[in-house]
Amino acid sequence: MFLCALVLGRCAGGRRRADVQDASLRDSTSADSAVLRRRVVLYRTLSLVLTVFLLAVLFAVKRAMTVPEDPEVEVFDVPAVFEALAKKNPDAADVSDTFFFSDTATVHLHVMGRGQACPLHIHRRTHEATVIVAGQAEVHQIWGRDGVLAERRGTHHPGALIASEPFTGHAWFNRAEDQMLGNLVFATPRFDGNLYVEPTDARLMQGPEPFTYAPTRALVLLAEQAGGVAVETLPALEGKMSSVVLAKGEHVLKATRAEPVIAYVAEGAGSLTAAEERPVKPGQLWVLRRDATVRVAEGASLMLYVFRPPVDAPPDVARGE
């Protein structure tokens, strides 16, 4: 009997130890599983945070690389820009600011210092038309006519337009010692700099006769004819510039993003409507990428220079040369 009890006791002890070991093993497995679950949750959270961060970075990069779309209507107060540049750079010989730039054309303001001269020069491919914004400009032009060189000297006031074709020589002078000269320069193809030459340079023979235009003369002529609206294509910028003179009524300027229109107000008063109506005054430069209607003010007259940049760039400009 004693022997049987001893054997039974040992068996029971063995089962208790096995039960304890099994419980310990289960606790250890449960703890490992809890640690593993926490790690999985942590890894998933980190992956989610990293994914969100990378998406945010990609969105920011894409946004930074996206070129903002040009507004449908831009208007610049060119005389105000001139005054600001002159005030900021009172002793400068030359200062400039660009209003429009494309593969086919540029429009920029060139400010010449007091007593400053821009020596005789030509452009080999650029057609240039300059409107006086402020001051008084003395211009000397040289071109070829009937096998000899011809020349012209003139003094021009705000609103006047002076056009020079490729190889037509032109020199600019600001004789005033107390005032800067402001010139609004239209160029097509885009402005390629100045090639300075002597008055006897043979290349000047290739230049055609230059063109000048006074808005006051156009306004007087329209008034004498008792007309309402007169549109004239000017011999400048390869026929891409015209004058629009209104004695009464309105005129529509057709424009799109692909074919913008640039209008400079030389004289008069009125309004321009493109989505909303805005006042028009001398010295404004309008860049239009949608249709607009220009109206002359009651009892007033209005004169605009309208430039339509070419749609296609010349092959060498398109290649970036």
Per-residue confidence (pLDDT) for residue 33, from 0 to 100: 74
Q: Are residues 150 and 199 in the same domain?
A: yes
| Mean of per-residue pLDDT scores for the chain | 86
Per-residue confidence (pLDDT) for residue 312, from 0 to 100: 75
Percent of the chain's residues with pLDDT above 90: 66
Does residue 41 form part of some domain? no
Cα–Cα distances in Å, from 44 out to 30, 33, 36, 100, 279? 21, 16, 12, 52, 61
Secondary structure element (H or E) that encloses residue 147, with its range = none
Closest CA to 259 of 282, 291, 284, 235: 291
Does residue 104 form part of some domain? yes
Per-residue confidence (pLDDT) for residue 45, from 0 to 100: 82
Q: Are residues 244 and 207 in the same domain?
A: no
Does residue 96 form part of some domain? yes
Least trusted range by pLDDT, from 27-41, 145-159, 276-290: 27-41
Q: How confident is the model at residue 137 (pLDDT cuts 50, 70, 90)?
A: very high
Mean of pLDDT values over 180-197: 93
pLDDT tens, position by position, 282-301: 999 999 999 999 999 998 88
Closest CA to 153 of 145, 141, 164, 165: 141
Which among 181, 213, 245 is the end of a domain?
Answer: 213
Per-residue confidence (pLDDT) for residue 315, from 0 to 100: 54
Q: Are residues 284 and 180 in the same domain?
A: no
Which among 151, 179, 213 is the end of a domain?
Answer: 213
Give the C-alpha separation, 305 to 275, whole Å. 22
Does residue 167 form part of some domain? yes
Mean of pLDDT values over 64-77: 83
What residues have CB less than 8 Å from 243, skipping those under 6 apart? Answer: 213, 215, 218, 230, 231, 232, 234, 303, 304, 305, 306
Does residue 272 form part of some domain? yes
What's the domain count of the chain? 2
Per-residue confidence (pLDDT) for residue 7, from 0 to 100: 43
Q: Is the link from the previous residue into 189 a cis peptide, with omega within 30 of 0?
A: yes
Q: Are residues 96 and 158 in the same domain?
A: yes
Q: Are residues 242 and 229 in the same domain?
A: yes
Q: The domain containing residue 119 runs over which residues?
A: 77-213
Higher pLDDT, 97 or 28: 97
Q: Are residues 242 and 139 in the same domain?
A: no
Q: Are residues 168 and 200 in the same domain?
A: yes
Does residue 288 form part of some domain? yes
Give the C-alpha separation, 180 to 174, whole Å. 7
Query: Which CATH number do you get for residue 155?
Result: 2.60.120.10
Does residue 200 form part of some domain? yes
Q: Are residues 81 and 192 in the same domain?
A: yes
Does residue 17 form part of some domain? no
Q: What is the CA radius of gyration of the chain?
A: 38
Per-residue confidence (pLDDT) for residue 304, from 0 to 100: 96
Mean of pLDDT values over 179-186: 97
- How would DSSP label each residue in 23-76? HHHHHHHHHHHHHHHHHHHHHHHHHHHHHHHHHHHHHHHHHHHSPPPPPSEEEE
Which among 213, 239, 265 is the end of a domain?
Answer: 213
Mean of pLDDT values over 40-47: 78
Percent of the chain's residues with pLDDT above 70: 81
* pLDDT of residue 57 exceeding 80: no
Q: Are residues 144 and 198 in the same domain?
A: yes
pLDDT tens, position by position, 94-127: 999 999 999 999 999 999 999 999 999 999 999 9
Q: Are residues 174 and 226 in the same domain?
A: no
Q: Are residues 183 and 229 in the same domain?
A: no
Q: Are residues 263 and 174 in the same domain?
A: no
pLDDT tens, position by position, 211-236: 999 887 776 666 656 668 889 999 99
Phi-psi bin for 159: left (phi > 0), alpha (psi -120 to 50), beta? left
